[in-house]
Amino acid sequence: MAMKNQKKLVAAVVLAAAVVAGQWHHPDRSAAAVEVAPGAVAETDRSVMNELVAAFDRAEVAVQHADPDALMLFYAKGYNYHGLKRPDVRRVWSEVFTHYAQVMSKHVFTDLRVVKSGAGWKAFVSCTGGLYGTEKETGKSITIDNWVREVHLLVKEKAGWKFLGNVGGASPAAPPAGAPHHPLF
């Protein structure tokens, strides 16, 4: 009897995972690109979170229009993620737009920490999400990238919040000469 219940539990977990994966794999284009999890933001940081969400929303419009010029406005002048600089990210985005159509992202912010840095401000945003599209060659829907509890680092410049990179090292699975994970978001 215990084995039968265990098999039912495994089947339920697999089914639940499939449902969740299906929702992440095919996000609704009409849904907001960014969601803020309940309790993710202290009341004192709510205006900063609104500014950050607006910055990501502008980036999402550029992504959905496959517009690298508009998208690069989201990246800080000092962007440097494990040696990848703004021109490198522009090249990667251009490759994404060459190979995939209907590109879109989804972000769920779960934590925010804002700190004074010199004369300015930095924001550390914990995020789970993904980058999705359709292969131009096959028409197949695909997850281009995904991340779990990645910490996005943003800096406030004169023009608003800009993406500076992600906190943390490269994925341990990445080869030493390979690019680090998640340079785009």
In a domain, residue 23? The reply is: no
77 phi/psi in degrees, rounded to 5: -60, -35
Closest alpha carbon to 144 in 84, 102, 81, 87: 102
pLDDT of 8-30, one tens digit each? 333 333 333 333 344 444 555 55
In a domain, residue 183? The reply is: no
In a domain, residue 113? The reply is: yes
**Structural domain span for residue 88:** 33-167
Decide: 156 and 141 in contact? Cβ < 8 Å. Answer: no
In a domain, residue 132? The reply is: yes
pLDDT of 104-159, one tens digit each? 999 999 999 999 988 899 999 999 999 999 999 999 999 999 999 999 999 999 98
Q: How far is CA 74 from CA 63, 86, 99, 180, in A?
A: 11, 10, 22, 20
In a domain, residue 181? The reply is: no
In this prediction the pTM is 0.76
In a domain, residue 155? The reply is: yes
Closest alpha carbon to 152 in 114, 97, 104, 103: 114
pLDDT of 31-59, one tens digit each? 568 999 998 888 889 999 999 999 999 99
User: What total number of domains does the chain contain?
Assistant: 1
CATH code: domain of residue 109: 3.10.450.50
In a domain, residue 2? The reply is: no
